[in-house]
Amino acid sequence: MSENAITPTKLRVLVPAEKIKERIEELGKQISADYKGPIIVIGILKGAFIFMSDLLRVVELPTRVDFMGISSYGNSKSTSGEVRLTKDLDMSVEGLDVLVVEDIVDSGVTLTYLIHLLSQRRPRSIRIAALLDKPDRRMRPIKVNYCGFEIPDEFVVGYGLDYAEDYRHLKDICVLES
């Protein structure tokens, strides 16, 4: 843990690792059935890397993989409302079916920005797969095509999700209680 991290008094398991694995297998089957050909899978760094890796292993389609870095949080527990691109794609998405893989959909601010940016690059389609969805926090409308779990408005970490770059390594999704 970094020197500047806040040490929680407790981590409460919200979604255990076994349920995550089962749900990802279901999502992989659904994605495989919905697409007719190859897709480009774009993982949103850093939080989605574990989910994306596990999801790709169960999707039975030819895939290309790329990453984007985008942030509206920094080291805070709530969105700043200001979105910034920290890493752009290395390949073109023009004419391709794009699956954006996100760790969590919260306010919708970041994904609204991202979908607008990707749409300008003329892909054939754009769909979103998110491990977690917090619809109660939505500030902008966004459609999640493949949702792992809908969760309450609590701050979660683990399975790639962090707080100030800590807790990504946890195998479960946990509520960070201070």
**pLDDT tens digits, one per residue of 30-89:** 999 999 889 999 999 999 999 999 999 999 999 999 999 987 655 555 555 678 888 989
Q: Which helix (H) or strand (E) holds 32?
A: helix 17-34
Please, which pLDDT band fits residue 4 given cuts at 50, 70 and 90? low
From 54, 97, 103, 106, active-site residue: 106
Top pLDDT among 142 and 146 is at: 146
Top pLDDT among 78 and 129 is at: 129
Reported pTM: 0.87
In a domain, 49, yes or no: yes
- pLDDT of amino acid 1: 46
Number of domains in the chain: 1
Active site residue 90: no
Report residue 173 CA to chain centroid gap. Answer: 13
Q: How far is residue 168's CA from residue 178's CA, in Å, rounded to a whole number? A: 17
In a domain, 2, yes or no: no
In a domain, 161, yes or no: yes
Q: What is the mean pLDDT of residues 88-110?
A: 93
